[in-house]
């Protein structure tokens, strides 16, 4: 395991041939999902590099202005109101730079997958769908998708998208995720949808489904 100032990087036991970039939620950091890698039960010779970036530290309005790691500010409890588009754009740019670094290291975008939980899922969707080069896939967990009329989606409609949400999520309401699903379907995408009896979290059944999604697109295609 390699640690840098901006991210936790978990390299595979074999030569790197693909990359997963995974963004944490509000108030967490890159270590939050670091422990999920062994739970995917990947083949011992897999070549997936996992990158868990740390969000910048900034004041968050709904938390009384307290400073914490956040991909953008949240100004109201209703996540669709007063959206911090400037903050979202800045984090999308940070994620784009990470993807470009992996491309420069020899990993084609078709072998790069972007994932995010909660706030991280918003950035994963916006950054991934605006990239013109085909990605291996996008994972959006326990999240929502604020819409913006000027946003231009350039990702091919065939891009595999995995979306999952808790039926009892008190932080990001289930209905918000369903609105996001409908929006993406209306744009021509066909997300794989998963709902679980949980709150704002991940569960074992979800991890098992994620493992299949990841292995089909980052392991099977490399064999």
Enumerate the active-site residues. 118, 169, 200
Helices (H), 26-155: 85-104, 119-130
Measured distance CA(209)–CA(102) in Å, rounded: 26
Measured distance CA(37)–CA(158) in Å, rounded: 26
Measured distance CA(18)–CA(12) in Å, rounded: 10
Strands 161-166 and 137-141: parallel
Residues 6+ apart with CB under 8 A from 42: 48, 211, 214, 215, 219
């Amino acid at each position: 395991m390699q640690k840098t100032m901006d991210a936790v990087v978990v390299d595979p036991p074999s030569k790197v041939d693909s990359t997963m970039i995974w963004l944490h939620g509000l108030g967490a950091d890159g270590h939050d999902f670091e422990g999920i890698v062994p739970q995917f039960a990947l083949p011992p010779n897999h070549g997936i590099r996992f990158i868990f970036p740390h969000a910048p530290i900034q004041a968050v309005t709904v938390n009384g202005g307290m400073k914490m790691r956040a991909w953008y500010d949240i100004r109201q409890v209703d996540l669709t109101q007063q959206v911090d588009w400037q903050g979202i754009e800045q984090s999308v740019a940070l994620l784009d730079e990470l993807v470009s670094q992996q491309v420069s290291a020899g990993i084609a975008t078709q072998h790069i997958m972007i994932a995010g939980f909660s706030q991280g899922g918003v950035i994963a969707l916006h950054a991934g769908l605006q990239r013109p080069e085909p990605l291996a896939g996008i994972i959006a967990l326990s999240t929502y998708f604020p819409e913006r009329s000027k946003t231009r989606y350039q990702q091919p409609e065939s891009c595999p998208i995995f979306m999952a949400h808790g039926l009892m999520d008190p932080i990001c309401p289930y209905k918000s995720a369903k609105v996001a699903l409908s929006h993406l379907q209306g744009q021509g995408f066909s997300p794989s949808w998963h709902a679980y009896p949980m709150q704002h979290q991940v569960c074992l059944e979800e991890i098992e489904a994620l493992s299949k999604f990841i292995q089909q697109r980052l392991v099977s295609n490399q064999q």
